């Protein structure tokens, strides 16, 4: 039975936001938040952050369940704050939050504990111990995906949560809260995809939070960018994973997936799909909804598969929309062309991506290297003439995501049909 929740909150010199967060956590929770056996909030603070330390001493130290842990300042946020905080936590469930979060759900702590215990009873009873889910009766290492109000909860092509929750067993299995390849931004995506590909995500829509972000599309929860945001952006931009290709991200994610599922006892025949208590009680409906969502995302991705993004090196096409018209085959028109992208490596090891359009008509030898076309910038405010900067990696990534979605859809359709057949035979008996 799950009993204790640990909230890990790194914070620096944001005392007004921290004050709002603490009031929100306790106002929206039950009286159990005052019980050290039920709850703890760990504030991870830099040694030189006297502002937050003073605020804690004056306003927060009175809370028996709020603890301040100071450490040397680091630019490796995910390893040295989130994982560090998890290492110092004692809860059954570990929740990584930010001082810019707000909980929307009333009695959130009791709802979380009760829902997880109901779900884990189904796990221990063997409800997921079959070739459709491949979840052992004794496997309690998983991610709890909650609704962060950013629209990602409903998206099936990936699993991402700005403020993820993992079980104690999950932390002990991988020995990190967020994958260490990401220094800051993007780690929630990597973390979510690890557990999604392992089939170890429990989606819980009852627990809703919002993110007070300067980038929030919901104007109700938007705020101005501050120095902390600027610093985190610099840290993220210095991390290779931030701008890594889809292939590279998949390599990192799959490395942990292989480790995670390497010792599982139940063979999972089908591609993992999301799990929630609602889906478990109506799995065919849940699968149909997931397949439809993935098909919609597949069609959206298809729009960009055959596009090549370009940018003017002088004006960057700022405040100007431009779509490059690919030259037509003089004999057979545009519809006859097909493209290929390849890597060209020089003797210094530098890699250059090139895209060439070929005519597919038999006997026609027309071809043109799109990346070698010199044009005058179409922006009337710009006088640049020459080669554009082509974002060919974006096209490569789009192809990879497109193919991945197609594989998932095909396997989930087979899974749905097989499950429907099993249910049909069960009804007959």
Closest Cα to residue 158, out of 258, 92, 249? 249
Residue 105 counted as domain residue: yes
Closest Cα to residue 36, out of 102, 91, 109? 91
Across 71-82, average pLDDT: 94
Q: What is the DSSP letter of 403?
A: H
Which helix H or strand E contains 303, and what residues bound it?
Answer: helix 283-305
Residue 241 counted as domain residue: yes
Across 278-301, average pLDDT: 93
Rg (CA), the chain: 25
Q: What confidence category does residue 11 fall into, taking pLDDT thresholds of 50, 70 and 90?
A: very high
**What are the contacts of 358-362 at 24+ separation with CB within 8 A?**
359/329, 359/331, 359/332, 360/336, 361/329, 361/331, 361/332, 361/336
| CATH value at residue 17 | 3.90.550.10
pTM of the complete model: 0.88
Closest Cα to residue 143, out of 174, 102, 114, 118? 174
Positive/negative CA dihedral, 396, 401, 404, 405: negative
| Tally of structural domains, the chain | 1
Across 267-276, average pLDDT: 79
Residue 36 counted as domain residue: yes
Return the residue matching tokens 């994982």. Answer: 83
Q: Please provide residue 110's backbone torsions phi and psi, each rounded to the nearest 5 degrees.
A: -70, -40
Residue 256 counted as domain residue: yes
Across 213-218, average pLDDT: 80
Considering only the C-alpha atoms of the chain, give the largest distance between any 2 of them, rounded to a whole number of Å: 83
pLDDT at 263 > cutoff 70:
no
What pLDDT is recorded for position 231?
A: 86
Q: What confidence category does residue 256 fall into, taking pLDDT thresholds of 50, 70 and 90?
A: very high
Question: In 207-319, which ranges are continuous DSSP H helix?
Answer: 227-237, 246-261, 277-281, 283-305
pLDDT at 26 > cutoff 80:
yes
Residue 326 counted as domain residue: no
Residue 251 counted as domain residue: yes
Q: pLDDT digit string (tens) for 364-410?
A: 999 888 888 888 998 999 999 999 988 888 888 998 999 999 999 99
Residues recorded for the chain:
429
Residue 98 counted as domain residue: yes
What pLDDT is recorded for position 271?
A: 79
Contact yes or no for 143/153 (Cβ under 8 A): no
Q: What is the DSSP letter of 402?
A: H
Which domain does 113 fall in, by range? 5-281
Average pLDDT, the chain: 90
Q: What confidence category does residue 428 fall into, taking pLDDT thresholds of 50, 70 and 90?
A: low
Residue 111 counted as domain residue: yes
337-345, strands of its sheet edge to edge: 337-345, 351-359, 367-369
In b/e form, how buried is each residue of 253-270, taking b as 16+ CB within 10 angstroms? beebbeebbeeeebebeb
Positive/negative CA dihedral, 184, 188, 193, 199: positive
Alpha-carbon distance 198 to 264, whole Å? 10
């Amino acid at each position: 039975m799950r009993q204790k929740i640990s909230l890990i909150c790194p914070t620096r010199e944001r005392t007004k936001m921290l004050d709002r967060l603490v009031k929100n956590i306790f106002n929206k929770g039950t009286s159990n938040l005052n019980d050290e056996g039920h709850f703890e909030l760990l504030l991870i603070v830099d040694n030189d952050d006297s502002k937050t330390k003073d605020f804690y001493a004056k306003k927060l130290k009175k809370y028996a369940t709020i603890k301040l842990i100071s450490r040397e300042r680091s630019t490796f946020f995910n390893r040295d704050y989130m994982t560090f905080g998890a290492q110092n936590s004692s809860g059954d469930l570990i929740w990584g939050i930010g001082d810019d979060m707000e909980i929307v759900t009333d009695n959130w702590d009791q709802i979380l504990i009760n829902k997880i215990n109901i779900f884990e009873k189904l796990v221990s009873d063997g409800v997921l111990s079959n070739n459709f889910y491949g979840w052992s009766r004794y496997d309690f290492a998983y991610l709890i995906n909650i609704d962060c109000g950013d629209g990602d909860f409903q998206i099936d092509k990936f699993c991402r949560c700005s403020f993820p929750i993992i079980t104690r067993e999950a932390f002990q299995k991988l020995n990190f809260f967020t994958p260490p390849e990401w220094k800051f931004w993007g780690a929630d995506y990597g973390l979510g995809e690890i557990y999604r590909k392992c089939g170890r995500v429990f989606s819980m829509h009852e627990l809703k939070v919002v993110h007070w972000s300067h980038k929030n599309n919901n104007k109700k929860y938007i705020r101005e960018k501050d120095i902390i945001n600027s610093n985190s952006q610099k840290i993220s931009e210095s991390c290779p994973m931030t701008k890594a290709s889809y292939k590279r991200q998949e390599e990192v994610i799959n490395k942990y997936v292989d480790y995670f599922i390497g010792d599982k006892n139940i063979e999972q025949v089908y591609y993992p799909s999301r799990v929630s208590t609602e889906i478990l009680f109506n799995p065919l409906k849940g699968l149909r909804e997931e397949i439809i969502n993935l098909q919609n995302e597949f069609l959206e991705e298809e729009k960009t598969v055959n596009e090549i993004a370009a940018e003017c090196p002088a004006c960057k096409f700022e405040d100007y929309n431009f779509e490059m018209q690919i030259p037509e085959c003089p004999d057979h028109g545009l519809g006859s062309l097909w493209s290929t992208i390849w890597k060209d490596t020089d003797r210094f090891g530098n890699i250059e991506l090139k895209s060439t359009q070929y005519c597919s008509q038999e006997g026609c030898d027309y071809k043109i290297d799109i990346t070698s076309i010199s044009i005058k910038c179409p922006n009337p405010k710009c006088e640049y003439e020459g080669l554009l900067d082509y974002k060919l990696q974006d096209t490569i990534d789009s192809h990879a995501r497109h193919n991945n979605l197609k594989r998932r859809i095909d396997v989930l359709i087979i899974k749905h049909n097989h499950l429907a057949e099993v249910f049909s035979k069960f009804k007959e008996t």
